[in-house]
Structure 1
Amino acid sequence: MTVRRIVPNLQVSDPTSAHRFYADLLDLEIVMDHGWLVTFAAKGSSSMPQVSFATEGGSGTPVPALSIEVDDVDEVYGRAKAAGAEIVYDITDEPWGVRRFFLRDPFGNIVNILSH
C-alpha cells in the first residue's frame, strides 16, 4: 500500500472566495472544481502541494478534515474494518471518478480515503 497524496479540506461557506488568496496571492492553480469543492495546487511542483475548500464532502457528506489518496482503497477499507475503525461513509464509487470511504480518526476527525 502506498500513500500518493494527502489533502487537507477546510470547510468554508464559499469555496470560490479562496481564489483571491490562494491563486492570486500564492500563485496556486485550480486543479479541480466541483462547485462545492475547489482544489488548488502548486504549479510545476513535483510534490504538488494542495489544499481544498468545501461546503460539503460530496454526495451530501460532511467535509472531511483530510483526504488521503492511496493506490488500493479496498485494501485500506478492509484494514480499517478489521481494526474496528468507525466508518462514517461506506465505500462508494462516486460519479466524479473516485472510490472512497470516510472513517473517524482517533481524534474525532473525519478522514476521506480514496483512489482515483
Structure 2
Amino acid sequence: MTVKRIVSNLAVKDIDTIKTFYQEIFDLDVVMDHGWLVTLSPSTSALVQLSVATEGGSGTEVPDLSIEVDNLDDVFERANKGGHKIVYGPADEPWGVRRFYMQDPAGRILNVLTHS
C-alpha cells in the first residue's frame, strides 16, 4: 500500500469568501469544485492542496483529513483488524471516488479514498 496524497479539509460556512481569500493571498487556483467542496492548489503542482467544504458529500460531515491511497481494500482491512471505528462506507461516490471514513485515535475523521 502506498499513500499517494494527504489533503487537509477545513469546515467553513461560506466557501466563496474563504476560496477568494486563498486565491488572492496565496495565488491558489480552483482545481475541483463540487459546490459543497472546493479544492485549491498552486497551478504548478498538486503537492499542496487545501479544500474548504460545507459538507463531506453524500450527506456526511466534513472529514478532518483526506488520504488518497492506491489500495482502499487493504487499508479498510487494516482499519477493521485494528478495531478502528468505521463511520461511513466503503462507498462508490458519484464524483468518481471509492472511500470510507474512519476515526483516528484522537477522534479525527479520516476520509480514505481512491479514484475510480
Look up the match of 1:63. Answer: 62
Worse overlay, 27-36 or 15-24: 15-24
Shift of 1:11: 0.5
Distance 1:101 1:48 in 2: 22
Distance 2:79 2:107 in 1: 15
Shift of 1:75: 0.9
Look up the match of 1:43. Answer: 43
Contact 1:64 1:112 in 2 (8 A): yes
Distance 2:68 2:89 in 1: 16
Instruction: Figure out how many residues of one structure are paired with residues of the other and give that number.
Output: 115
Contact 1:23 1:29 in 2 (8 A): yes
Shift of 1:19: 2.3
Distance 1:16 1:68 in 2: 24
Contact 1:56 1:62 in 2 (8 A): yes
Shift of 1:15: 1.4
Identity of aligned residues (%): 57
Contact 2:56 2:63 in 1 (8 A): yes
Contact 2:10 2:62 in 1 (8 A): yes
Look up the match of 1:79. Answer: 78
Structure 2: runs of 5 or more not aligned: none
Distance 1:58 1:71 in 2: 21
Shift of 1:24: 1.6
- How big is the alpha-carbon RMSD for the aligned residues of Structure 1 and Structure 2? 0.9
Give the secondary-structure state (helix, strand or coil) at the position aligned to 2:18: helix
Taking structure 1 as the reference length, what is the TM-score of the superposition?
0.95
* Shift >4 Å, 4+ stretches: none
Q: 1:91-102 counterparts in 2 under 5 A?
A: 91-102=90-101
Look up the match of 1:13. Answer: 13
